[in-house]
Amino acid sequence: MAQNIYDNPDFFAGYSQLPRQVDGLDGAPEWSAIQALLPGLSGKRVADLGCGFGWASRWFRSQRAASVLGFDLSQNMIERARADTEDPAIEYRIADLETLELPEAAFDLVYSALTFHYVQDFGRLIRMIHRALTPGGDLVFTIEHPIFMAAAHPHWTLDEDGRKTWPVNGYSIEGERRTDWFAKGVLKHHRTLATTLNALIGADFALRRIEEFAPTPDQIAAMPGLAEEMERPMMLMVSAFRR
Ligand SMILES: C[S@@+](CC[C@H](N)C(=O)[O-])C[C@H]1O[C@@H](n2cnc3c(N)ncnc32)[C@H](O)[C@@H]1O
């Protein structure tokens, strides 16, 4: 059973104040890198898995997607997405990606941002998404990079020069990882890079492009706090398509 930490009031209050939730997609430094991975959207039927506040769902429609179906485990997130959306071609539903079944060949694009690392049974999810896509349909997703996930537990330490370092612990030990972020004991699921990519290959996806997000020099100049993202990859971004 999934944890649903986004319905924890303390977690939700903290999470809602993040720049990427207050300012939307432009508040996420990786957004331009994601856009470069996305296919043309005109006329596409899109599923947004772990849609959160619905920022991307609404953007897909602004790019002339035919329809967007957003799914999220959290009632808080879905209520907020519904409140912020006035578009009959966008529908939001509460669903757990551990058990969600989508209709076959019903979508041209399945998109997910920073959600799949909360899912334990990644292989099942990827096989289900493959069936739900039309042949040639796209899967674009981001997750916490497996090195970031392994490095963040325990979190950074300071070296003798007072510089943050991120020891990578137990990278090859897959499974549950707990972190304290807005709430204690937030549950995520660590998988190596190989496991992640092999799940896609095993489900008969073709890989288009893989990115390990790092901020640009301009982004770091504008927001110096981003410099630490150069120390270890924070996000893995994948673009694939159904054969
Ligand atoms: C980091 S947020 C990302 C939200 C949105 N994609 C964005 O980029 O703003 C992760 C989202 O995944 C959702 N989530 C976590 N586990 C889930 C699950 N098992 N099934 C469906 N959604 C889940 C959370 O409720 C949350 O809205």
CATH number at residue 85: 3.40.50.150
Which has the closest alpha carbon to 239: 144, 141, 145? Answer: 141
Looking from the CA of residue 6, the nearest atom of ligand 1 is 25
Q: Ligand 1 test: best mutation among 15, 23, 51, 73, most atoms within 8 Å of CB?
A: 73
Boundary (domain end) residue, out of 128, 143, 158: 143
pLDDT at residue 169 above 90?
no
**Residue 52 alpha carbon to ligand 1 centre in Å:** 6
- Tell me which of 90-104, 147-161, 174-188 is least confident: 147-161
Half-sphere exposure of 194 (CA within 13 A, CB side): 4
pLDDT at residue 153 above 70?
no
**Residue 108 alpha carbon to ligand 1 centre in Å:** 21
Segment 151-162 mean pLDDT: 77
Q: Ligand 1 test: best mutation among 7, 17, 21, 115, most atoms within 8 Å of CB?
A: 115
- Does 203 lie in the same domain as 129? no
- Quote the domain boundaries for residue 212: 145-231
Boundary (domain end) residue, out of 113, 143, 173: 143
pLDDT at residue 242 above 80?
yes
Provide the pLDDT confidence category of residue 154 given band limits of 50, 70 and 90: low
pLDDT at residue 168 above 90?
no
For the chain, how many structural domains are there in total?
2
60-97 per-position pLDDT tens digit: 999 999 999 999 999 999 999 999 999 999 999 999 99
Looking from the CA of residue 74, the nearest atom of ligand 1 is 25
Looking from the CA of residue 97, the nearest atom of ligand 1 is 20
Write out the two tokens for 31.
């957004």
Segment 101-128 mean pLDDT: 98
Segment 3-22 mean pLDDT: 90
Provide the pLDDT confidence category of residue 164 given band limits of 50, 70 and 90: confident
pTM of the predicted protein model: 0.95
The whole-number pLDDT of residue 160 equals: 87
Residue identifier of the C-alpha nearest atom 17 of ligand 1: 73
Segment 23-29 mean pLDDT: 92
Q: Ligand 1 test: best mutation among 3, 5, 6, most atoms within 8 Å of CB?
A: 6
Ligand 1 binding pocket (C-beta < 6 A) is: 2, 6, 50-52, 55, 71-74, 77, 96-98, 113-115, 118-119
Half-sphere exposure of 191 (CA within 13 A, CB side): 19
The answer to whether the beta carbons of residues 145 and 81 sit under 8 Å apart is no
- Does 135 lie in the same domain as 151? no
Q: Is residue 241 part of a domain?
A: no
The answer to whether the beta carbons of residues 12 and 76 sit under 8 Å apart is yes
Which has the closest alpha carbon to 229: 141, 137, 151? Answer: 151
CA angle 216, 58, 22 (to 5 degrees): 60
The whole-number pLDDT of residue 126 equals: 98
- Does 139 lie in the same domain as 90? yes
Mean pLDDT of the residues in the chain = 94
Q: Is residue 114 part of a domain?
A: yes
